[in-house]
Structure 1
Amino acid sequence: MTIKVNQVTLYVQDQAAAVDFWTTKVGFEVTTDQPYGPDARWIEVTPPGGGVRLVLFKAGPDWPALSQDQPNYAMFAAGDIVKAHAELAARGVEFLAPPVEEPWGWSAVFLDNEGHRFHLSQDSANA
């Protein structure tokens, strides 16, 4: 039996702003956008070429905010982290620092439009 991850949910306050960030700045594509309840939409964005879908889900008013001082559960990888960092930063993605080589590999942390932190690592399998 094979089990794989097909989507990760990111709870956001502003779905339109999140779509703009993940498509315009990160370069993902909207693959699903449909009504979901009275005040929200079911929106999925996917990296170019496919892969795990990121669901931009509208957080409820009583939901706790995602931690803005720790990275979130979703982690991203690029074949060339230095090139990816340069391209994303040129599109306006805010990084806390340029990529650095850690004992476990290359890493950088970036912020989304709501200030949530995400890791970007070097994908050694596709480097």
Structure 2
Amino acid sequence: MIKQIKFVSIPVRDQNRALDFYTDKLGFTIITDQPFDEKQRWIELRIPKAETRVVLFTPEGDENRIGSFMNMSYTCDDIHKTYDELKKRGVEFEG
């Protein structure tokens, strides 16, 4: 089953500005800051001593949706077993 939230993705318009805010103002630490594609970077942060991470990203093609959605990633030991268990509990999957 699900053990923890691995990361929460926060869509942002300006990755540099968001990175400055989360690190300088909120005190988050940078885990990863690397190119994702030609226009974006994969920026992963966390609160000191916390395990859950925050990912700052700009959703290409969905910039108008910034502020209206977010994404979470979970950790589990066995994805197939977890999928089967969640289906039995009535969870519907799409995609």
Question: Structure 1 segments of 4 or more deviating over 4 A?
Answer: none
CA drift of 1:65 comes to 2.6
Partner of 2:67: 66
The normalised TM-score by structure 1 is 0.49
Q: Note if 1:22 corresponds to 2:31.
A: no
CA drift of 1:73 comes to 6.1
For these two proteins, the number of residue pairs brought into alignment is 70
Partner of 2:35: 35
Question: Alignment partner of 2:54: what SS?
Answer: strand
Gapped runs of 5+ residues in structure 2?
72-95
**Alignment partners' CA distance in 1, 2:30 and 2:24:** 11
The normalised TM-score by structure 2 is 0.64
**Alignment partners' CA distance in 2, 1:18 and 1:73:** 15
More strand by share: 1
More helix by share: 2
Partner letter of residue 67 of structure 2?
L
**Alignment partners' CA distance in 2, 1:4 and 1:13:** 28
CA drift of 1:62 comes to 3.5
Matches within 5 A, 1:1-127: 1-63=1-63, 64-67=65-68
**Alignment partners' CA distance in 1, 2:15 and 2:70:** 19
**Alignment partners' CA distance in 1, 2:70 and 2:37:** 25
Partner letter of residue 12 of structure 1?
V
**Alignment partners' CA distance in 1, 2:49 and 2:36:** 26
| 1:56 to 1:73, Cα distance in 2 relative to 1, 3 A | closer
Percent identity between the aligned chains? 39
